[in-house]
Amino acid sequence: MFRLLASRFLLFALILIHLLTTQILAQRSKTPWQTLNGEAPLIIARGGFSGLLPDSSVDSYSFVAQTSVPDAVLWCDVQLTKDGTGICFPDVTMKYASNMERAYPNRKNSYLLNGVPTENWFTIDFTFRDLNSVFLTQGTFSRSDKFDNNQYAISTVESIATKMKPEGFWLNVQHDTFYTQHNLSMSKFLLLVSKTVMIDYLSSPEVNFFRNISGRFGKKGPKFVFRFLEKDVVEVSTNQTYGSLLRNLTFIKTFASGVLVPKSYIWPVDKSQYLLPHTSFVQDAHKAGLEVYASGFANDFDLAYNYSFDPLAEYLSFIDNGDFSVDGVLSDFPLTASSAVDCFSHLGSNATTQVDLLVISKNGASGDYPGCTDLAYSKAIKDGADVIDCSLQMSSDGVPFCSSSIDLGESMNVVQSPFRNRSSSVSEIIPSSGLYSFSLAWSEIQSLTPAITNPYTKDFTLFRNPRERSSGKLLSLSDFLNLAKNSSSLTGVLIIVEVTNFYYDYNNHFEH
């Protein structure tokens, strides 16, 4: 059925077996957004493009304009300095996200922050002038420090607004009570700055902040958005947990037109980071007339395993899931959120036919399941691969089968197996010894459990789908071809043959 090309050490034979290709394109009409007002969800850039550049820096904000949807909203966490200047800075404490520790080593202080004694550098201990010698840095240590080179100054709210002229400007007031306790008035600052700066959204996790400020902006004031924190946290002004405030959305609606919630309010995860079914929160809040904004979106952490490390898939589950759409997402990577909204929503079954590119699997969906197993191949087909691949190996009794490596120790759980003592050393293949496929009969190989590969654990501590780390079964070449033939969405298969000479020399089974 196929022809092999032989070479001395390494050989790839590529055989495309053309299968029937019928493109069944579901007839779908364009779904309108299931947001409260029917418009596309807002992209809210937290501190600018803070996944890459220092949060709240001018470059971080301007990079949003260059890479995101044109109406992306710029989010600024407002803090007050000792002299009442409003600045954009991610937190009231300054140790992280700035070089404060080096700039003012002796000005650490201790205050009660929402009742918790906290030792840190606080914005209220510095005048805006003092902050001239402080620079913004990347506050999340797992991210690149390439831009921590003392070039990003701390900006006032006014200067960010003036320089950026954002389509939408969102101010978040995380600690109103704290500033009041220190005789600084956030409300006073906001009312003053609103004379020169257009504030489109104003959010806070404190109920009293809204009670105090509502009605004081006049008709064209900002939208008020109540920010829910984690459910067991106590809201300072009502002394109720956020979980208990959640039960009365009618009450929230008395002072806010929207809510901002951690994404787990909508798609909760279990202890091992797998998604649970979505809650009815978005529908409930929409029924109460509240817009829903979700927070906690980043490309580089906190992604449930269900998304296969694909942040786009996560956005789509919040904005285009058939049941609801949130009204906006708060993201550290607004570029990805923008592509989710602008390019990848409402594609339905057309998604895989957007570009004329061949998608070839690598050992099936080997990021989700142990490679070359029935589960990995089925997932690859379900995910829309055009071609599935088989790395061909041969058993001692001459059965061709698919496995990512000739050394079964790399793709199977062999440590506990009785065949461990059959490993051998063949320096032409790998330097150390291995349990080679040609040392075991096919029935023996089938008794082993396939293992998921985790190539990125050393540098990035990224583990793949732990629940499926030992699952599925390997397929013989003929089972593989039957599976492929059965799938009308495939256009072909790819057979990869490595180290053929070796089989010829030692086994002479290849004509099988």
Ligand X SMILES: *[C@@H]1O[C@H](CO)[C@@H](O)[C@H](O)[C@H]1NC(C)=O
Site residues (vs ligand X, CB under 6 A): 25, 28, 30, 176-177, 180, 182-183, 208, 212, 239, 248, 250-251, 254, 274-275, 277, 306, 346, 348, 350, 418, 421, 467, 482-483, 486
Beta carbon nearer to ligand X, 51 or 258: 258
Least Å from the CB of residue 90 to ligand X: 22
Tell the smallest beta-carbon distance from residue 159 to ligand X (Å). 26
Closest CB to ligand X among residues 28, 129: 28
Compare residues 73 and 202 and give the one whose CB is closer to ligand X. 202
CB-nearer residue toward ligand X: 1 or 25: 25
d(C-alpha 168, C-alpha 173), whole Å:
16
Question: 297 and 68 in contact (C-beta within 8 Å)?
Answer: no
Half-sphere exposure of 288 (CA within 13 A, CB side): 22
Q: How far apart are CA 344 and CA 333, in angstroms?
A: 16
Q: How many CB atoms lie within 10 A of CB 127?
A: 12
Q: Nearest approach, Cβ of 375 to ligand X (angstroms)?
A: 11
Q: Name the minimum Å distance from CB 354 to ligand X.
A: 10
416 three-class SS: coil
335: enclosing H helix or E strand: helix 334-339
Contacts of 310 (CB under 8 A, 6+ apart): 303
Pairwise CA distance, residues 176 & 77, whole Å: 12
In the complex with ligand X, the residue whose CB is nearer, 153 or 191, is 191
CB of residue 105 vs ligand X: minimum separation in angstroms? 24
Tokens for 486? 């059965």
Say how far apart CA 374 and CA 299 lie, in whole Å: 30
CB of 22 to ligand X, least distance (A): 14
**Position closest to ligand X via CB:** 251
* Nearer of residues 43 and 435 to ligand X, judged by Cβ: 435
What is the smallest separation between the CB atom of 249 and ligand X, expressed in angstroms? 8
Closer by beta carbon to ligand X, 40 or else 153: 40
Q: How far apart are CA 268 and CA 495, in angstroms?
A: 41
DSSP state of 474: B
For 325, how many CA atoms within 13 A lie in the half-sphere containing its CB? 24
